[in-house]
Amino acid sequence: MKQRILIVGAGFGGLWSALSATRLLDIHSRTDVEVTVLAPQAELRVRPRFYEAGVHRMKAPLGELFAAVGVRFVKGLVDRIDVQGQRVAYRDERGAGAELAYDRLVLATGSSVVRPKMAGVEHAFDVDQIEEAMRLEEHIRALGSRPATRARNTVVVAGGGFTGIETATEMPARLREALGADAEVQVIVVDRGSRIGAALGDGPRAQIIEASQALGIQWCLDASVASVDAGGVTLADGRRIDADTVVWTVGVRASALTEQIPAERDAQGRLHVDRSLKVIGQDAVYATGDVAYAACDDLGHFALMSCQHAIALGRSAGNNVAADLLGVEPIPYSQPKYVTCLDLGAWGAVYTEGWDRQVKLEREEGKRLKTQINSVWIYPPEANRAEALAAADPLIPVA
């Protein structure tokens, strides 16, 4: 009877875990271990691009790729993880209950934006999941049919972190596409920080300020949203901003399924893992991507909830979970190089290197790199077995 590696989730972490596990099994000519991916859909949803227009295109089918490399895909939504019994209960596409047993489990169920318990927060949009990003896109498209008002032409973005900045700087062009090239639009970022781009540090601040000024982005600093309604937001200090469009980008938390694993979690709900990405205190459970609290190096840096880290985490988790079953040496996860490439709309982009985010490229040069990352580098490989498995080598640097 075959042993089973069960990977829950088909995002960046889950996809690359599946390919990397299959790669190691292939190297050792082992056909007695099955790699299974359990997820709601056999597609990679390219979440880093959900701030852009045309979001319905930002997904990549995985069925042919899984078939080419011999990964079994099961469509379903997980309800319960039984760590002691080594079983996962899920609902299939018809809603019927079913179970899958495993010898080793890789949890790769990602993260989601945190919507606070706040009056009217249901009126806010987000760019966290593809369905919500599509709802925002439909809303923006429909603004042109509304009477012209200042509120119609205003977008409030709650949160001035990475996602908030990319969303805000894209908004002027998206609004003018819906309202007309000459429309007077207003985009306001509401941020708790005392300085523009505080969440990204001093490195790219000058470029963020320059891009904001060029695009007409306003920053409301030392501020937070207290409530949302259909016509705008009220801030904690009582100020009112009228806006037909509010986008929430504040706070991200790991999948709630992490709470079913008896183990230590960090403040964002991520499971503490060792350098092989095995959950500390568990013999048969690994965590990867946004559900893993993993050290990138020996200097105190930990992986962030980003596709840059999720791809490498996935390659490492897949390799090491297979190595565990095969009885071969794992390859410790290591990702010492950290980079960012922040999209700044029509102004361009800014590319940084190092945890202190030293600027290396900006404007058009940065934009060319950002376009390459978003349209090529983060997409899955073609459905060619040899090429796909070669791309899953955990020693390949992501950046």
pLDDT surpassing 90 at residue 1: no
Question: How many C-beta atoms surround the C-beta of residue 147 within 10 A?
Answer: 6
Written as six digits, the tokens of 93 are 């596409």
pLDDT, one tens digit per residue, over 146-180 is 999 999 999 999 999 999 999 999 999 999 999 99
Written as six digits, the tokens of 329 are 């040496």
CATH homologous superfamily of 3-113+252-337+383-391: FAD/NAD(P)-binding domain (3.50.50.60)
- 306 pLDDT band (50/70/90 cuts)? very high
CA–CA dist 77, 63 (Å, integer): 17
- b (16+ CB within 10 A) / e for 325-347: bbeeebbebbbeebbbbbbbbeb
Stretch 350-374: mean pLDDT: 97
Class of the CATH-defined domain 121-248: alpha beta
Which pLDDT does position 398 carry in this prediction?
Answer: 78
The domains spanning 3-113+252-337+383-391 and 121-248 adopt the same CATH topology: yes
**3-state secondary structure at position 336:** coil
Percentage of the chain lying above the pLDDT 90 cut: 99
Q: How is the chain split into domains, by residue range?
A: 3-113+252-337+383-391, 121-248
Mean pLDDT of the chain: 97
Which pLDDT does position 397 carry in this prediction?
Answer: 85
Which pLDDT does position 128 carry in this prediction?
Answer: 96
pLDDT surpassing 90 at residue 143: yes
Which pLDDT does position 105 carry in this prediction?
Answer: 98
- 249 pLDDT band (50/70/90 cuts)? very high
How is the chain split among helix, strand and coil, in percent rounded to 5?
35, 30, 40
